Amino acid sequence: MEMEKSIGIRVPILRNFGKIAIIWGLSTMLAIVLNHTGVRIENLLLIYVVGVILCSVETRSMLWSISSSIVFVFTFNYLLTSPRFTFQVDDPNYVISLLIFIIVAFIAASLTVKLQKQMDLDRERAEIMLKLNTIGSGFLNLSGRQAIISYSKKSLHNLTGKETEILIRSRDERFSDSSAEWCFRNSMACGYGEAQFGDSTRLYVPVCSLSKTYGVIIFSCSNGGLAREERMYVEMVISQITLVLEREQLNEEKEESRLQIERERLKSTLLRSISHDLRTPLTGIAGNSNFLYENYTLVDEESAKSLLLDISTEAEWLNSMVENLLNMTRIQEGKLEIHKKKEVVDDLISGAVTLVSKRLGNHTLKTVTPPEIELISVDARLFTQVLVNLIDNGIRHSGENTVITVSAGAKRNRMVFTVSDNGTGIPGDKMEHIFDSFFTAAYREGDRQRGAGLGLAICKAIIEAHGGRILIDQNVEKGAAFRIEMPMEETDDQ
C-alpha cells in the first residue's frame, strides 16, 4: 500500500520535471541560435520569460514555476552573458537585467497559476451548476415520498460522491438513530466536524424550511467531510427537496379534502336514498297494520292474508336493505369478515330463491343447477346476499313480466353462476359505472324504483374478497346477465 502511494507521488513529479526539461531545452536552443544571428541579449531574456510562463501553464504549480525561473536565470547567465560558461557577471547591467527577469518571471508565473486555478474553479462551478439544474429539473415531475427520497439520495451521491441516506419523518414516529433524532428535533446539523456528536463518522443535515423540519440527510464521512462549497450546494438541493415535499404535502391535503368532500357527498346521497327508499315500505307497513288493527273484525280472511303478505314482503325488503347497508359499512371500514366453509351449490341457489320468492310479483324465476353435487368454499351468508342482490336487481330493473334465470355450472377449475333476465337490459352508457356505489339505473326514471345503488357494489366487494370476480355478460341477445366466477379450490380464510 505504501509502495503504491509512493509511486503515485513520484509519477506527477517526474512528469512535471520532464515538461520543464523539454521547455528548458527548446528555449535554450532557440536563444543560442538567435544569439549567433546577432539578436540583442535583452531580447533573449524574453525567450526565457516565455519559457517560465509555459512551465507555469504546463505544471499548474507555483513551486515548479519558481524553480524553473531560477534554472532559466542561471542558464542564461552561464551560456549567454560575459564571461560565458561561468556564473560570474562582469557587467552590472546584466545583474539588473537578471533581477528584473526573476521578478517578472515570478509575477508572470504567479498570475498564470492563479488564472489557471480560477479557470479550473469556474469550470468546476459550471459543472456543479449544471448538475444542480439537472437535479432541479428532475424534481419537477416527481410524486410520492418514496420517489422523492430515492431521487434525492441518488442526486446527492452524484453531487458529493458520498454514501447518502435520507430519513423523512412520517407522523409521530421516532428515528432509531439518536443523532438523526437530535438533528431533526433541533433543526441543526450534527455529527462529523460539528459541535454536537463531532466524533461521529457520519454528518447529519436537517431537511427543513423556515417553518417545518421534514427529515434528515446522513452523509458517510469516513473519507473526509464536505467542503464549504459542497455544503452550500447541498443546502441548495435541500431547498429543492423541501419545496417538493411541501408540494407533496399540499397534494395530500388536497386529496384528503377531496375525499372528505366525496365522503360527505356519499353520505348525503345515502341519506337521500335511505329516506326515499325507507319511506315507501314503512308507510305500507304502518298503513296495513293500522288498518288491520282498526278493522280487525271487519276484514275477511283473504283480505287479511293479502295485507299481511304485503307487510311481510315490505319487511323482508327492509331487512335486505339494512343488511346491504351494514355490509357496505364493513367494506368501507375494512372489517368485512369472510368465514368460508364448503357449501353445496344447489343449497346456495335455493336459499337465495327462498328469500326473494315473496318479492317476485309478476316476474318468473327459473333455476338451473349442476347435474351433480358440486361444492365450493364460500361464506354462505354473504354469498347468498350476492345472489339475492342480483335477483332483486332483475326484479326492479328488467321491466314487467320478465323471466329471471339463476344458473350454475363448473367450467375447468371455476364454478360459474349466472343471473340473467330477458328484460330491457342495461344502457350502454351505464355499463362502466354499474358496480359503483350509489349508482342505479332507476335515476333515469325519476327515482320511481327503489334502490340506494349499493347492491351491485356490495356484490363486487364480496366476490372479490372470496378471490372470484363478477362481470356483465356481453353475450346475451336481450336483457342483462351477470356472471360470477368462483374458484373451486379452497383458499385461506380472509
d(CA 427, CA 476): 14
User: Which residues are paired to 37 by β-bridges?
Assistant: none
Which pLDDT belongs to residue 454?
65
d(CA 349, CA 344): 9
Given a cut of 50, whether residue 18 has pLDDT beyond it is yes
d(CA 207, CA 220): 17
pLDDT tens digit sequence for 196-216: 998 899 999 999 888 889 899
User: Which residues are paired to 403 by β-bridges?
Assistant: 364
d(CA 261, CA 263): 5
Q: Is 330-487 CATH 3.30.565.10?
A: yes
Which amino acid belongs to residue 192?
Answer: Y
pLDDT tier at 437, thresholds 50, 70, 90? low
pLDDT tens digit sequence for 115-141: 878 887 788 778 777 777 777 777 777
Strands 414-421 and 481-487: antiparallel
Given a cut of 50, whether residue 492 has pLDDT beyond it is no
Given a cut of 50, whether residue 434 has pLDDT beyond it is yes
Residue 259: all three cell numbers together: 375525499
pTM for the predicted model, two decimal places: 0.46
Give the burial class of 78: count Cβ atoms within 10 A of its Cβ; 0-12 exposed, 13-18 middle, 19 or more buried: middle
Going along 62-198, which residue ranges are E strands? 164-168, 190-191
Residue 333: all three cell numbers together: 371500514
Q: What is the DSSP string of 29-57?
A: HHHHHHHHTT--HHHHHHHHHHHHHHHHH
d(CA 459, CA 386): 5
The residue with cell 537585467 is 97
Which amino acid belongs to residue 361?
Answer: G
Domain ranges of the chain: 2-126, 138-252, 330-487
> What CATH number does the domain located at 138-252 have?
3.30.450.40
